[in-house]
Amino acid sequence: MFSNILIYFVIIPLLMLAGFALCRNDKQIRAVAVTGSIALMALSAWLLVDYLALRKAGETAEMLYTGSWEWFGPLNICLAVGVDGVSIAMLILSSIIVFAGSFASWKIDNARHFFMWLLLLSTGVFGFFITVDLFTMFMFYEVALIPMYLLIGQWGTGRKEYSAMKLTLMLMGGSAFLMLSLIGIYYHSAPEGGQLTWNILEISQNASISKDWQYFLFPMCFVGFGVLGAMFPFHTWSPDGHACAPTAVSMLHAGVLMKLGGYGCFRVAMYLMPEAANDLAWIFLILTGVSVVYGAFSACVQTDLKYINAYSSVSHCGMVLFAILMINTTALTGAIMQMLSHGLMTALFFALIGMIYGRTHTRDIRLMGGLMKIMPFLGVGYVIAGMASLGLPGLSGFVAEMTIFVGSFEHADMFHRTFTVIACSSIVITAVYILRVVGKLLFGPVQDEHHLQLTDATWWERLSVITLIVSVAAIGCFPNFFESLIKFTFSPEIFRAIGL
Amino acid sequence: MDYSQFLAMRQELGVLIVFLLVFLYDTFMPKKALNATAGFTAILFLLFTVASFVWGNVGTVDAFSGMYSTSPVCSMIKNILNVGVLIVLIQSVRWTNGELMTVRRGEFYELLLVTLFGMYLMISARHFLLFVIGLESASLPLAAMVAMDKNRYESHEAAIKYILTAVFSSAIFMMGLSFVYGLAGSLYFNDIALQLGTQADTLLVVALAFVISGVGFKLSLVPFHLWTADVYQGAPTSVTSYLSVISKGAAAFAFLVILVQVFGQFYSAAWEWMLYALIIVTITVGNLFAIRQKNMKRFLAFSSISQAGYIMLGIVGCNEMGLAAMMYYILVYIFSNLAAFGVIGAIENQTGKVDMTDYNGLSRSNPWLAFAMMLAMFSLAGIPPFAGFFSKFFIFTSAINQGSTAIYILVLIALINTIASLYYYLLVVKAMYISPEEPQIPAFRSACSERLGMWICVAGVIALGIVSFFYNSIIEAAAGSNLFAFIG
């Protein structure tokens, strides 16, 4: 078991948890957080290199580094792991954001408990991305949800009790549907008389879920994960939750946790029930199309920086689900790129907003102005994040959205074309709200005399911001590299049943 | 008569021996030594528990011409109850050593052991006469235990409520039995099943309804739950915790045995829908009422009502898997609920406070108590990686094994209810961890026994799920059971 590299994505966070419990002061806690997150980054980087080398050497298995250890034998529940390019992309994303998040919460109160909850959350996230067993996956999924309640409730700002409760209950509500659909999948995972299994790879190989059952289970599964992917009309937890959460939690939640939703929709709902996905996609296309546009419009009228960004997340995450539902290679590649891109740039946004809020003690854009002169580093960072968000070539947003729309346009029928055009229009709306904030916040006249005394970013804040900017630019400049990483996943296997 | 048959009853005999030793100790030891009654009982019971794990399992044996039957499953559920009783005994040490209880503490332990003996009989009885003896000896002494807090008005009120409802529901139960006897001409479980045939006539349905209501009272299923909140609130906390986990666990198992062994062939004809309705109503009503409770003991009373509904989900599957899931659920529920009651008891003994608002800011004054309480709440709500998640998942999985569309809807309703339950469990966590108010409860150090009890519970809540050994061994015991022969 311990010879499998993937297990260490769970073991390192758990060791960090133990480390935090033993720490005596904030200095040691920071040391543990930094060491651990560097170790995670190194591990995911090594995994990336090794994975590509294996693929180059001619490995054609669907998932690599697979391993399976029996857990609850009578129910055939195993701790089964395995990754492909998509999971590796997500692991890299998570480790970068955990790293940046640790630096962004350098001076948090009650650091020990904060980091313990944060790392429990990360354990869930990493565990979710490495497993291929439905039970274990679901367990890690829920492990990642519940620490949010305490993180927002204890360290949040504003109406934190309300937001924390709303977020937790809505996400758990989604997971109720999810649990039912996963159990349903289990009971149809093998042909009559065969050994039932929770293992995703085996279930997809057996392909024994009948079409009727797919129609029943797919919507529940998609909605269950879709709630976390902020699909309209189940997105309302997201703005409140993100606005009230502390900086690092917003980063991790918008950056990684919302990707759990998209990843789950792709990996479980679509992968295991492709026929229903193909037939029912139109319902969810309408819903996600609404999220894309509605989120963007809502962002235009907000005045709280975090709300603007939270609604923009609804729009961008809607785009992920939208692209997944297009069910073709180009759009799916775009969806994964969008997950990476949105994860990094929204984390960058939330980090910068947290840093600005820490100085000005307000997030209302009407009360701020001319910050570019006062804190040029944060200002430039904000402009870069904004440009990535509205899709400037050279940054990640452009690559992702371009791929998505090209892929969506491959469908020749009226329905898909119309929705693609509608979704495309969100790019323009994004430009409106981004430029509005940039203009008002950074370049307008200084609104408050006290703001003139404020200082620019400290070294740890710079480190956090630079890490994220470099990653955003890397995707924008070398899209081919990332494309080659994830393309192998979309082998004909997944489209097998659909016949595309 | 072959006296070796008594050896099949070795677990019952073990409880009787413990009871007698405690009784003798309490009666004949000098006054000074009586302070050690609690410790004496706990150690004795610990020995019995260990012995019962090692030698308790005699395989499948029908003794006394089928009146009494034991099997690996029966001995397993008794062992599970033993562990719970042991924790209750440890947690109650401080309370029984208090001033109020000095003259009565022997009685508390003796009555407790008698009720446990009654529950054992309920589990193993395969004849309704023996079953009723078990049911009564598990119910009546409990009323005396509820009234233990002699100087508190609520304690008396609770005892009266409990005894009246218990007697009334026993009467209904026996009314049902008389119908069954009229139809089948026998009180042996196996004979009844054979005599009744497969035709469900009206009288049988009425009899079934009476039997279900009689046992439903012990389980506090809605609509037979009205006594629960008042009794839980009025009874001393140790008695409440005993009532909420041990009594409930034993009754749930006995309920399953009666339903599948006696009425198994009428599953789809008569009681499947009754059970569905009971489960839905129990879970929903329990949850809705729990949301508005301010007193922690009342709150846990309603929470335990809804938990009983989840336990019942183990029956609908009507197979070994459901049986195992139910037993595992009971085991996990024992640990989680006792952790919660342990914290409540410790705080009540120290400060006398039991309201939820008193728990505001507890994490700052008593971080370890708050931590134990939080784990208990998460486990009851079914949050991983705590044991409650696994038990909930398994019980849903086993229910869906039955496969009909109705069961999917039933489980969906149960799942949506878990969200409501999560809300009120989080209210407790919110009071302890998030509420900005000054702590109402000063920092204090709880007694050794209380801490020991809490550590056991916390360890159980963490380990019972992740370590698959427990579930696997339960399902191994359940796999060999012959309970489901008559399901049709």
Q: Of A75, A143, A169, which is closest to B422 when you measure between CB atoms?
A: A169
According to the model, what pLDDT value does residue B486 have? 66
pLDDT value of position B438: 83
Which residues of chain A lie closer than 8 angstroms to B468, CB-CB?
71-73
Distance from the Cα of A122 to chain B's closest Cα (Å) equals 14
Instruction: Please report the pLDDT score of residue A233 as a whole number.
Output: 86
What's the pLDDT band for A43 if we cut at 50, 70, 90? Answer: very high
Q: Whose structure tokens read 């620019």?
A: A456
Instruction: Kindly determine whether residue A184 and residue B475, on different chains, have CB atoms separated by under 8 Å.
Output: no
Q: Would you place residue B160 in the very low, low, confident or very high pLDDT band (cuts 50, 70, 90)?
A: very high
SS (H, E, C) chain B: CCHHHHHHHHHHHHHHHHHHHHHHHHHHCCHHHHHHHHHHHHHHHHHHHHHHHHHCCCCCEEECCCCEEECHHHHHHHHHHHHHHHHHHHHCHHHHCCCCCCCCHHHHHHHHHHHHHHHHHHHHECEHHHHHHHHHHHHHHHHHHHCCCCCCHHHHHHHHHHHHHHHHHHHHHHHHHHHHHHHHCCCEHHHHHHHHCCCCCHHHHHHHHHHHHHHHHHHCCCCCCCCHHHHHHHCCHHHHHHHHHHHHHHHHHHHHHHHHHHCHHHHHHHHHHHHHHHHHHHHHHHHHHHHCCCEHHHHHHHHHHHHHHHHHHHHHCCCHHHHHHHHHHHHHHHHHHHHHHHHHHHHHHHHCCCEHHHHCCHHHHCHHHHHHHHHHHHHHHCCCCCHHHHHHHHHHHHHHCCCCHHHHHHHHHHHHHHHHHHHHHHHHHHHHHHCCCCCCCCCCCCCHHHHHHHHHHHHHHHHHHHCCHHHHHHHHHHHCCCHHHHCC
Kindly determine whether residue B393 and residue A179, on different chains, have CB atoms separated by under 8 Å.
Answer: yes
| B172: containing domain | 3-486
Q: A238 to chain B, minimum CA–CA distance in Å?
A: 18
Give the pLDDT band (50/70/90) at residue A497: very low
**pTM of this structure:** 0.94
Domain tally for chain B? 1
pLDDT tier for residue B76 given thresholds of 50, 70 and 90: very high
Note the pLDDT tens digit of each residue in A76-106.
899 999 988 888 999 999 999 999 988 888 8
Instruction: Tell me whether residue B175 is exposed, middle or buried, using C-beta atoms within 10 angstroms of its C-beta: 0 to 12, 13 to 18, 19 or more.
Output: middle
Contact (CB<8Å) B472/A74: yes
Read off the pLDDT of residues B316-356 as tens digits, 9 standing for 90 and up. 888 888 999 999 999 999 999 999 999 999 998 888 888 88
Residue of A nearest to B421 (CA): A169
ipTM field: 0.92
Backbone dihedral region of A386: left (phi > 0), alpha (psi from -120 to 50 degrees) or beta?
Answer: alpha
Q: What is the pLDDT of residues B171-217, one digit of tens each?
A: 999 999 999 999 888 899 888 888 887 777 888 889 999 999 998 98
pLDDT for position B488: 52
pLDDT > 70 fraction of chain B, expressed in percent and rounded: 99
Numbered residues of chain A with Cβ closer than 8 Å to any chain B Cβ: 71-75, 135, 138-140, 142-143, 146, 149-150, 153-154, 160-161, 164-165, 168-169, 172-173, 176-177, 179-180, 183-184, 186-187, 216
Quote the mean pLDDT of chain A.
87
B403 CB neighbours in chain A (<8 A) are 187
Q: What is the pLDDT of residues A354-371, one digit of tens each?
A: 888 888 888 888 888 888
Per-residue confidence at A489, pLDDT binned at 50, 70, 90?
low
Whether the pLDDT of residue A251 is over 80: the answer is yes
Average pLDDT estimate for B228-251: 92
Local confidence band at B2 (pLDDT 50, 70, 90 cut-offs): confident
Question: CB-based contact (8 Å) between B378 and chain A?
Answer: yes
* The predicted structure's pLDDT at residue A500: 47
**What tens digit of pLDDT does each residue of A307-324 get?**
999 999 999 999 999 998
Q: For residue B1, is pLDDT > 80?
A: no
Report pLDDT digits (tens) over A363-405.
Answer: 888 888 888 888 888 888 989 999 888 888 888 888 888 888 8
Q: Which residues of A touch B394 (CB under 8 A)?
A: 72, 75
pLDDT confidence bin for A494, thresholds 50/70/90: low
pLDDT tens for each residue of B304-325: 999 999 999 999 888 888 999 9
Cross-chain residue pair A176–B321, CB shorter than 8 Å: no
Q: Residue B303: pLDDT above 90?
A: yes
Q: How many CB pairs under 8 A join A and B?
A: 83
Q: What digits encode the pLDDT tens for the residues A416-450? A: 888 888 888 888 899 888 988 888 888 878 877 77
- Look over chain B and give the mean of its residue pLDDT values, rounded to a whole number: 90
- Residue of B415, B423, B434 lying closest to A169 (CB–CB): B423
Which of the residues B398, B413, B430 would you substitute to probe the A interface, choosing the one with the greatest number of A C-beta atoms within 10 Å?
B430
Tell me, yes or no, if B403 comes closer than 8 A to chain A by beta carbon: yes
In this model, does residue A161 exceed pLDDT 70? yes
Cβ–Cβ below 8 Å for B426 and A154: no
Chain A residues touching B321 at Cβ < 8 A: 74
Set of chain B residues whose Cβ sits within 8 Å of the Cβ of A161: 430, 434
Note whether A72 contacts B426, CB cutoff 8 Å: no
Q: What is the pLDDT of residue B222?
A: 85
Q: Do B434 and A150 touch (CB under 8 A)?
A: yes
Q: Which of A79, A135, A172 to mutate to test binding with chain B, by most B CBs within 10 Å of its CB?
A: A172
| B473 near A CB under 8 A | no
- Average pLDDT value for residue range A447-470: 83
Give the pLDDT confidence of B238-247 residue by residue, as tens digits.
999 999 999 9
The per-residue pLDDT for B374 is 93
